[in-house]
Structure 1
Amino acid sequence: MRRRRPTLAGEMLILQLAIVLMVLFAVGAISLAQSAATFDRVEGRRVTALAEQLAWNPLVRAQIGRPAPGEVLAPLVHSTLTQSGVTSVTVADASGKIISSTDTTVVGAALPLGDPGVARARGWSGHLVVDGAPEVAAQVPVLSDAPADHGAHLGTVMIGVAAPTVWERLVGASSYLLTYLGVAVALGGAGSWLLARRIKRQTLGMEPREIAGLTEHREAMLHGIAEGVVALDPQHRLTMVNDMGRTLLDLPDHCVGMSLTALGVQGRLYDVLSGADEAHDEIALHRGRVLVMNRMMIDKDGRRLGSVTTLRDRTELAQLERELGSFRSSTELLRAQAHEFANQLHVISGLIQVREHDEVVRYIRAIREHRESLDLSLSSRVRDTSVAALLMAKSSLAAERRVELRLSGRTALGRLDPLDAADVATVTGNLVDNAIDAACGSGEPAWVEVELRQDTSSVEIVVRDSGPGVAPELAHEVFTRGFTTKAARGGERGIGLALTQLVCRRRGGEVAVTNTDDGAMFTARMSVGRLAMGVSR
């Protein structure tokens, strides 16, 4: 049978109880040591005073030097023993020979000296082994008071009291010490039990091996996913970041524990990471990357623990969007033209049915002349076929939404390198899409005007619309927050303008928005390579 391992709470309880018992043992030892010191001090003083009193007794002085003094001093020695409650009373002559004692078996023997100075008429007190038993004893000299030999050393008086054993001291202190120790054990046990419960609650009932396994799985998961994960505490300090998050935010290896401010995180990125509410699909630009972030707040028992933010890099999608731009434009053009042609065929069919054949011819001629005029105007001002095709598609799409897309008379764009043309088409398409969205809800007449200008090294794209414009407080944020013109009015969000700024900055340019009397005006400028063909003016 597999032996069951103790739980973390059980281990903590056992350890705490062991510590409590060790502390109680130390307290008991210290208490006994203090009791012994107190006994030695008090009893030492008492036996010293009794010995001095006996040594100064006239009878002792008178009989100590005479023959057979034991018979005379024996009643005095026993009386002192009885009245003071000491263990032993001994009187010795000047030579150290015991002449009288409460223990008659030691009479005639040498007096055990606690200090050599006792033989030279010096007093002493301390521990001494008397007849095999430890005693707290005092030895006081008996001095002569006769005028002839005043102060002469006549002998020594020793009084001792037996030192209690450890058990006797423990029994004597049991009236208070054992009570205190019992209370301490109860309090220590209760405290250890509460601590074990608290630890178990804080670890959610998991054992150390489970916590270690959970940590290993978390590390493997966080560093294995393709999205960045950043965790912050309520003071906006990083508590956890995985490898992808560190890469996307360009954070140093020792960033954990540092605040966003100390790491140099500013602007829109700081606002999203440190926000007080949850965020969904928020967009921010950071060092050439378009980041889509989702933030979730972490609360427990009504207390804010911090936030966890996931980051996805949408920059790679920009290349895919540019590659799909031409296909999307062609698809939109075909769809819009199919709708337009269907309407024209309905008109022609109706005229044929009412037998207005001459009117059919005039209608078809008018349609052909309008198309030739539009193609001629566009192709003469925009020589790059990809950009011209884009504008043609946007024109049909705008007409379908009852928005007039017109080309500024100052437009002049030559043929571009394919990579340059792709970026110009991306920026132009994004700005036109936003302008159409803004203009179609502004009432009649709705229009969007596109102006393309170039010099030897750069292209400038200006898109004006008849929409309501951009709120002043959003003018500096529409590119970093990922707004479309719908979002500027409180609608859904996208990354069109963010990609526009990303493309312009990558090519050493910039994009800005201003409000005019008619609506909003977006101006984008970017550097391009040498033109493949000259510009027809």
Structure 2
Amino acid sequence: MVVTSRRSTLAGQLLALQLVVIVVVLVAIAALSVAQSAATFDRVEGRRVAALAEQLADNPLVRTQLGEPAPGETLAPLVQTIRTQSGVTSVTIADADGIVVSSTDPLLTRGRLPLGSAGVADGRSWSGELRLNGSLELVAQVPVLGAEPQNLGRQLGVVVIGEASPTLQQRALDASSHLAIYLGLASVVGLLGSWLLARRIKRQTLGLEPREIAGLAEHREAMLYGIAEGVIALDPHDRVTLVNAVGLRLLDLPEECVGATLTELGVEGRLGEVLTGGARDEVVLRRGRVLVLNRMSVTKDGRRLGSVTTLRDRTELAQLEREMGSFRSSTELLRAQAHEFANQLHTISGLIQIGEYDEVVQYVEALADHRESLDLTLTSRIHDTAVAALLMAKSAQAAERRVRLRVSERTGLGRLEAEDAADIATVVGNLVDNALDAAAVADAGDDAWVEVELRHDTSTVEIVVRDSGPGIAPELAQEVFTRGFTTKAAEGGERGIGLALTRLVCKRHGGEVSVANTPDGAMFVARLTVGRPMEPVDARERVDA
């Protein structure tokens, strides 16, 4: 049989602790009362026995008889009378040699009187506790001085008046007649208060025991610091109450940020609005990172306790999208060309079926001339293959959406390093996609257009994308980059992180991106600093190749 010991509850432990405290306090109060009673006894009774001893030492009978040969018989009635009248414990008279000549305690008679101080033999008075015949008494010893001319001023003996010191029990009883009542009332009040305190603490801890609370805390720590997402909690005053390691890293906060407000931590602008607002899946840029935030308010019993926000880092995903941009562009180009070639083959097939063979030859030659013209236009102005291929793909996409994509005559772009080319392609692709969206939904028919202009010097590439769309609302001129909007202005929808990624790429290259409205539509201008350009390839050599 296994015997399990039942642990005491938190309320029980608190109650036991309070009981111990109450007992200690009561014992201290009782000890203080006893000590105060002893001090009062010593002060009051000490004065009384000292006064009685002085009166007895000044008694003429005592002065005259102490000089006689046998004073005990004469002084015995006086000693008994003083004891009876004053109620003291003992009255003792000794001669000049310290031999007791008369005493209410027969055992002291004929014996040597114990002195409390050596000064008593020299004529000085003394009072204090002294053990006489095994009994502890509060005594006063006063010398008897001669009054006759022949022995004037000479010490004739000593008078001792003693009062038995009370026991500890007697002092406790004498301390206060209501001490027991006071201690009882204090015990009842203490017990009641301890019980109420234990109940209150149990309610505040939701009935959980210390080991259960410790377990919850351990599980919370394991959960917060084990997940890959960042977590930050705020109180109703926007003070940080909790943040895990991932949250510290994503928000770039100091280690000692708990207890500080968002303003004190320098969290302002768009990030501060999202952390204190109520939005979900909000895209925010923070120190070169693309973050997605989800905020949830915390309430209990109708009382707002604060909020908890989770953070996901999409920077790596955005980087992956950038790296896949060239592959996606090639895929889009092949898809668009396949669709275009299918239409052209259907046309050729129809001409052959109706016997228009000369028309077939002319149609094929016209297609070849158009393709050669398009290739020459791009390759003569854009010498970087990745960017040129991207614009060819976007041209096919634009044709499908009945939007004319044209390259400005002022365009000129040399060959770039592979990393710079990928970043330029990312910026161009995002800006052209947004421009195509804006131009396509403007319902301009065959007049919809998008124009791309690339200018390249020794260290800078400037990208200008214009469209015939409705433009950008003035109040969104900066929000489109901080919130991660696309420029699909006609719908005003929030579609991703295209422009947010564009701005990140530009800033990483020491540049910036801006937007402005023109009479025709919107114009985006992006500037990037790139490495030294490579030698351009002649357009004719590219065509021959």
TM interval, short-chain normalised: 0.7 to 0.9
- Counterpart residue identity of residue 120, structure 2: V
On the 8 A contact 1:230/1:310 being kept in 2, the answer is yes
SS of structure 1 residue aligned to 2:283: strand
- Cα shift at 1:244: 3.2
Sort the Cα spacing of 1:98 and 1:145 in 2 relative to 1 into closer, same or farther, 3 A.
same
1:144 pairs with 143, 146, 158, which one? 146
2:123 pairs with 110, 121, 124, which one? 121
On the 8 A contact 1:238/1:255 being kept in 2, the answer is no
- Take 1:32 and 1:272, find their aligned partners in 2: how far apart are those partners? 69
- Cα shift at 1:521: 2.1
- Cα shift at 1:119: 2.0
- Cα shift at 1:472: 4.7
Which residue pairs with 1:12 in the alignment?
14
Give % identity. Answer: 65
On the 8 A contact 1:268/1:284 being kept in 2, the answer is no
- Take 1:385 and 1:521, find their aligned partners in 2: how far apart are those partners? 25
- Take 1:347 and 1:186, find their aligned partners in 2: how far apart are those partners? 106
On the 8 A contact 1:35/1:169 being kept in 2, the answer is yes
**Equivalent residue runs for 1:20-35 within 5 Å:** 20-35=22-37
- Counterpart residue identity of residue 410, structure 2: R
- Take 2:439 and 2:71, find their aligned partners in 1: how far apart are those partners? 137
Which residue pairs with 2:272 in the alignment?
271
Which residue pairs with 2:285 in the alignment?
285
- Counterpart residue identity of residue 503, structure 1: V
Which residue pairs with 1:3 in the alignment?
5
SS of structure 1 residue aligned to 2:226: coil
- Take 1:147 and 1:226, find their aligned partners in 2: how far apart are those partners? 112
Which residue pairs with 2:407 in the alignment?
407
SS of structure 2 residue aligned to 1:316: helix
- Take 1:198 and 1:487, find their aligned partners in 2: how far apart are those partners? 59
- Cα shift at 1:126: 0.7
- Take 2:11 and 2:489, find their aligned partners in 1: how far apart are those partners? 55
In structure 1, list runs of 5 or more residues that go unmatched: none
User: Which TM-score applies when normalising by structure 1?
Assistant: 0.83
- Cα shift at 1:46: 1.3
- Cα shift at 1:117: 1.6
- Cα shift at 1:345: 10
Which residue pairs with 1:464 in the alignment?
466
On the 8 A contact 2:262/2:272 being kept in 1, the answer is no
On the 8 A contact 1:40/1:136 being kept in 2, the answer is yes
On the 8 A contact 1:513/1:522 being kept in 2, the answer is yes
On the 8 A contact 1:272/1:282 being kept in 2, the answer is no
133-142 or 18-27, larger mean C-alpha shift: 18-27
- Counterpart residue identity of residue 421, structure 1: A
On the 8 A contact 1:144/1:150 being kept in 2, the answer is yes
- Take 1:477 and 1:35, find their aligned partners in 2: how far apart are those partners? 84
Which residue pairs with 1:81 in the alignment?
83
- Counterpart residue identity of residue 247, structure 2: G
SS of structure 1 residue aligned to 2:142: strand
- Counterpart residue identity of residue 315, structure 2: T
- Take 1:247 and 1:276, find their aligned partners in 2: how far apart are those partners? 19
- Cα shift at 1:163: 1.0
- Counterpart residue identity of residue 501, structure 2: L
- Cα shift at 1:413: 3.3
The reply on whether 1:320 has 2:323 as its aligned counterpart is no
- Take 1:145 and 1:255, find their aligned partners in 2: how far apart are those partners? 90
**Equivalent residue runs for 1:40-79 within 5 Å:** 40-79=42-81
- Take 1:479 and 1:369, find their aligned partners in 2: how far apart are those partners? 42
SS of structure 2 residue aligned to 1:142: strand
On the 8 A contact 1:96/1:111 being kept in 2, the answer is yes
- Cα shift at 1:182: 2.4
- Take 1:264 and 1:172, find their aligned partners in 2: how far apart are those partners? 67
- Take 1:82 and 1:365, find their aligned partners in 2: how far apart are those partners? 153
Which residue pairs with 2:543 in the alignment?
none
Which residue pairs with 2:310 in the alignment?
310
- Counterpart residue identity of residue 322, structure 1: R
- Take 1:137 and 1:487, find their aligned partners in 2: how far apart are those partners? 109
- Counterpart residue identity of residue 183, structure 1: L
Which residue pairs with 1:391 in the alignment?
391
Deviations, residues 272-325 of structure 1 (Å, cap 9, x unaligned): 57x323442233333433222333344455665554433322122223213433
- Take 1:88 and 1:512, find their aligned partners in 2: how far apart are those partners? 112
- Cα shift at 1:371: 5.7
On the 8 A contact 2:472/2:489 being kept in 1, the answer is no
- Cα shift at 1:391: 3.4
Which residue pairs with 2:170 in the alignment?
168
15-24 or 234-243, larger mean C-alpha shift: 234-243
- Take 2:404 and 2:414, find their aligned partners in 1: how far apart are those partners? 24
The reply on whether 1:530 has 2:521 as its aligned counterpart is no
Sort the Cα spacing of 1:443 and 1:75 in 2 relative to 1 into closer, same or farther, 3 A.
farther
SS of structure 2 residue aligned to 1:499: helix
On the 8 A contact 2:318/2:501 being kept in 1, the answer is yes
Deviations, residues 125-145 of structure 1 (Å, cap 9, x unaligned): 110112321111111222233
- Cα shift at 1:332: 5.0
- Take 2:409 and 2:418, find their aligned partners in 1: how far apart are those partners? 25
- Counterpart residue identity of residue 49, structure 1: A
Sort the Cα spacing of 1:14 and 1:378 in 2 relative to 1 into closer, same or farther, 3 A.
same
- Counterpart residue identity of residue 427, structure 1: V
SS of structure 2 residue aligned to 1:280: coil
On the 8 A contact 2:141/2:159 being kept in 1, the answer is yes
Which residue pairs with 1:423 in the alignment?
423
Sort the Cα spacing of 1:536 and 1:197 in 2 relative to 1 into closer, same or farther, 3 A.
farther
In structure 2, list runs of 5 or more residues that go unmatched: 541-545
- Cα shift at 1:492: 2.0
Deviations, residues 113-168 of structure 1 (Å, cap 9, x unaligned): 21122222211111011232111111122223334433332322211111111111
Figure out how many residues of one structure are paired with residues of the other and give that number: 533
Deviations, residues 160-192 of structure 1 (Å, cap 9, x unaligned): 111111111122235332233223323333343
**Equivalent residue runs for 1:412-451 within 5 Å:** 412-414=412-414, 416-440=416-440, 444=444, 447-451=449-453
2:98 pairs with 82, 87, 96, which one? 96
RMSD: 4.1
User: Which TM-score applies when normalising by structure 2?
Assistant: 0.82
Which residue pairs with 2:503 in the alignment?
501
Which residue pairs with 1:182 in the alignment?
184
- Counterpart residue identity of residue 276, structure 2: A
- Cα shift at 1:522: 1.5
- Counterpart residue identity of residue 191, structure 2: G
On the 8 A contact 1:51/1:157 being kept in 2, the answer is yes
Deviations, residues 440-465 of structure 1 (Å, cap 9, x unaligned): 55564654332222224432111123
- Take 2:16 and 2:151, find their aligned partners in 1: how far apart are those partners? 74
- Take 2:31 and 2:151, find their aligned partners in 1: how far apart are those partners? 52
Sort the Cα spacing of 1:349 and 1:176 in 2 relative to 1 into closer, same or farther, 3 A.
farther
Deviations, residues 315-338 of structure 1 (Å, cap 9, x unaligned): 222232134334544555677678
